[in-house]
Structure 1
Amino acid sequence: MDAQEKIAQILQRLETGTCTPQELQWLQDWYDNQPALPMHTFRDEAHKQQLKTGMLQHIHAQLEPPVHVPVVRMRYGWQIAAAVLAGVAGICGWWFLNNWQPRHKMILVQVGTGQQKELLLPDSSRVWLNAGATMEYPQEFSDVRTVKLDGEAFFDIKQDEHHPFEVHTGQINVQVLGTSFDVKAYATLDETQVTVKTGMVKVLHEQKGLDVLSANDQLTFSRSAQQYMKSKVSNQQISEWAGGMISLSQAGFAELALTLENQYGVRIRFNPAEMKQDEYTLRCSKQLTITEVLDLISSIHPVQYDIKDKDITIHRKN
């Protein structure tokens, strides 16, 4: 545990009145070893006094617990409290302003229908989010660079052997040091896919390693079957969607329908039992209209469709 995490724990325990004398002494020793705090620690004098008053109340509660609670009284309680009080308000102001808040502030990015978004992460890694995707990441990364993803994203990760990069989805986690790869992890789909363009990644499920992927490897994990399969794919097709293409390879109809819904803002109705027989491979420009794409699909597969405003019903031809 690093100093910042320990400080956070001690401050939380001060708030609940469960801080021990040893923890208070550790906090005082840590404070004594710090360089001079910046002059802008407090917003104003009232802010400074508010912090000091709050900390004094917590320490009073620690030193004078209710008589019915069996605790061991601090041996040098008031001496420690007085020393800590002199600096703890400064610690709170400095530490929260400069460490806790920036590091733990989360940024949520959501991509709308028919859109895609490019992001520059705090470590200068780049991410492209596909339509309908959502990603959450901290304003500042810690020892492990972690993001949470629902949807599809292509990652180009900056190499940093001391700070691994992890993508967390609802079913699997992906660990890398520096590489480029695609993750498709929509919560409404049974399958989650990881496809590597360059470098290597490790894929985990419930903290257990599934496999290690290198360039052109694709891992498909089934939530219902709790199994995965590994295959090879064309390098050029891995991130085609980021270049303005609709690109699917041997996809189930549910994935095809979700792709069209995210791209065109429509609602597609279908019978899963009726449409589960075929796999769909589709490559076309996102500039095509939804009608043009449906005509293309129906020219290859035995399906027909009806459109009413934004509602589309698709079923197999008899």
Structure 2
Amino acid sequence: MQIYSLLYLFLSLISLLFAFNLRTRRTNLPPSPPSLPIIGHLHYLKIPHHQTLHKLSAQYGPVISLWLGSRLVVVVSSLPAVEECFTKNDIVLANRPRLLVGKHISYNYTTMVSSPYGDHWRNLRRIGAIEIFSASRLNKFAGSRKDEVERLLKKLSRNSMYGFSKVEMQSAISERTFNISMRMAAGKRYFGEEVRDLEEARQSRELIKQIVSMGGVSYPGDFIPMMNWIPNGFKRKVWRVAKRMDAFLQGLIDEHRSNKEEERNTVIGHLLSLQEMEPEYYGDEIIKGIVLLILLVNLEFFPSLLDWK
């Protein structure tokens, strides 16, 4: 037991030295408020965060640097500086931080959202622009969109058949939008009438809710590396949800493969046909990452979907 304690202490010291070395090697950084050892400026971040950052910017300038543990963050609150970040220096600032959720949920940072700028990201962007979101591809799903709109109108007409009735439109439109995306991706409906597999629909909705809820959680190990050595229930939860989501997405792909003789106008079906010709560009993990992105995009515009039961 004493040996393990000494080893833990040694590794902790190495981690501290590494963190401090990262800071001392950075030069020409924007102004920064006083920081504390290990946690840096984390103690400044109080809710609401935007007001805290505004106060710091008013005191130290429109461009300031903060150390969130071992991670360097630059806060920009000047319009000219923001324009420079997204024009002249957009490639330099294109990458996203590598967080625990991205490692497990985003297939080790290989999806379009989490992948660093480079050849792989450019390939994903090409797939999205040409094979999924181009006008010609979207037009192929016009029938699904039309069908879902007709279903919604029929439902509303039934509700008002005998007079005026109160309708909650937000959830109705949100569910139809998700159905359109799911039909586009995999040819399935998970809301409303004619849902083929109610249990699969329920499990998929629950998985997406869990993934979104974890995306808004700040995991200490993402900012203070030594925290990763401490057993943590959040890490286990992320790993379990990632495994379940991967199994769900792989099931959709395998189902398409087994029904190959049936022509299916879906994103998965189209990408699997391309996989036969260029397997190096259309692997299963790439397809699963694209389908997951399509499903999660809905929640950016329709957060009420998180109220699923």
- Superposition TM-score tier, normalisation by shorter sequence: under 0.3
Which of the pair has the greater relative contact order for Cα pairs under 8 Å at 6+ separation?
2
The structure with the greater share of residues assigned to strand is 1
Q: Which has the larger radius of gyration?
A: 1
> Which structure's residues are more often helix, by fraction?
2
TM-score under structure 1 length normalisation: 0.18
Q: When the two structures are superposed, what TM-score results if normalisation uses the length of structure 2? A: 0.18
